[in-house]
């Protein structure tokens, strides 16, 4: 591809003491692309996510997002640079309402100052109204608009996932990192999730990096797949190539 990659990762690695959790990880994610990241349990998939989002500081390699290096940046700076994520175990602001959950992701976009806050200036009300409207729009997209005032933890599991994705989208990102979004979902919910991911791609033109164990889902929606095992990339390519790759089969079945 001639285009510049939105997310470009070179030789990324991290060691915890003597243990090399991830080594030599390379990835080029182009605009609007959906890449799957798979591998057996403990292979280092989530560690890659943590490296990409600034939770861990890489011990080697480089990460460029939109041409800007985000090595060693803090998570909120990475989010501001344009990469947002969801979590393997859903992390919502549990006792807050659905609407508030989404509004919090707009915090960095709000420009009003402490002065505006204390004196409730026109700017305060305008910006608050703006982000409320934007949040409601996002919720509508995920069919959550009727639950806007519900407490987040009271939502059913599938909707909590959707809310988490909506919150990530609210950060106005270019790259979305989804960590096992279908984990613990029944087939109906997974189908809904699939629809939801397709919708996001149409509407927002984001690039998605997806960790997932549900192979049918991965094979259905991913354009390319990376497989890692013991922190090393053992295969990468199109879904049907991966499915027939002997190394991948060995890693999964222990050959």
Would you tell me which residues interact with another protein (CB under 8 A)?
A: 53, 55, 74-76, 79-80, 84-85, 87, 91-96, 100, 103-108, 110, 112, 114, 117-118, 120, 122, 124-126, 129, 167-168, 170-171
∠ CA 207-86-194, nearest 5°, is: 60
Minimum CB distance to another protein smaller for 129 or for 199: 129
- Find the shortest distance in angstroms from Cβ 170 to another protein: 8
- Find the shortest distance in angstroms from Cβ 153 to another protein: 10
- Find the shortest distance in angstroms from Cβ 173 to another protein: 9
Could you tell me which of 231, 235, 232 has the C-alpha nearest to residue 247?
Answer: 235
Minimum CB distance to another protein smaller for 92 or for 251: 92
CB-CB neighbours of 94 under 10 Å: 12
Per-residue CA distances from 28 to 36, 43, 170, 225, 247 (Å): 12, 20, 24, 12, 22
Minimum CB distance to another protein smaller for 136 or for 215: 136
Strands 68-69 and 7-16, sheet pairing: unpaired
Could you tell me which of 97, 21, 70 has the C-alpha nearest to residue 177?
Answer: 70
- Find the shortest distance in angstroms from Cβ 24 to another protein: 26
Minimum CB distance to another protein smaller for 102 or for 227: 102
Minimum CB distance to another protein smaller for 167 or for 224: 167
- Find the shortest distance in angstroms from Cβ 94 to another protein: 6
Minimum CB distance to another protein smaller for 116 or for 214: 116
| Edge-to-edge strand ranges of the sheet holding 83-85 | 83-85, 175-179, 207-211, 34-38, 224-229, 232-237
Identify each DSSP E strand in the chain by its residue range: 7-16, 19-29, 34-38, 60-65, 68-69, 83-85, 175-179, 207-211, 224-229, 232-237
Minimum CB distance to another protein smaller for 59 or for 97: 97
Q: What is the DSSP letter of 3?
A: S
Q: Which residue in the block uniquely carries the two structure tokens 């990659």? A: 5
| Helix or strand (DSSP H, E) at 247 | helix 246-253
Instruction: Please tell me the distance from the alpha carbon of residue 251 to that of residue 39, in angstroms, as a whole number.
Output: 8
- Find the shortest distance in angstroms from Cβ 164 to another protein: 8
- Find the shortest distance in angstroms from Cβ 82 to another protein: 10
Instruction: Please tell me the distance from the alpha carbon of residue 208 to that of residue 176, in angstroms, as a whole number.
Output: 5
């Amino acid at each position: 591809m001639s285009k510049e990659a939105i997310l470009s990762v070179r030789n990324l690695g991290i060691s915890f003491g003597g243990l090399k959790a991830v080594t030599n990880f390379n990835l080029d994610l182009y605009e609007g692309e959906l890449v799957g990241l798979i591998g057996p349990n403990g292979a280092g998939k989530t560690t890659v996510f943590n490296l990409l989002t600034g939770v861990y500081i890489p011990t080697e390699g480089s990460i460029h997002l939109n041409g800007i290096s985000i090595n060693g940046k803090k998570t909120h700076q990475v989010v501001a640079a344009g990469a947002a994520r969801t979590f393997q175990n859903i992390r919502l602001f549990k006792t807050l309402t659905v609407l508030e959950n989404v509004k919090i992701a707009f915090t960095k976009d709000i420009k009003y100052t402490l002065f505006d806050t204390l004196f409730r200036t026109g700017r305060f009300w305008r910006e608050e109204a703006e982000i409320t409207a934007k949040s409601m729009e996002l919720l509508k997209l995920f069919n959550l608009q009727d639950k806007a005032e519900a407490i987040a933890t009271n939502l059913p599991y599938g909707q909590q996932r959707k809310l988490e994705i909506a919150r990530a989208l609210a950060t106005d990102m270019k790259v979305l990192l989804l960590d096992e979004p279908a984990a613990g979902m029944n087939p109906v919910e997974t189908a809904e999730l699939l629809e939801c991911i397709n919708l996001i791609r149409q509407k927002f033109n984001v690039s998605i990096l997806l960790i997932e164990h549900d192979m049918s889902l991965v094979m259905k929606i991913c354009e390319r797949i990376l497989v890692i095992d013991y922190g090393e990339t053992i295969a990468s390519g199109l879904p049907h190539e991966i499915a027939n790759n002997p190394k991948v089969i060995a890693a999964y079945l222990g050959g």
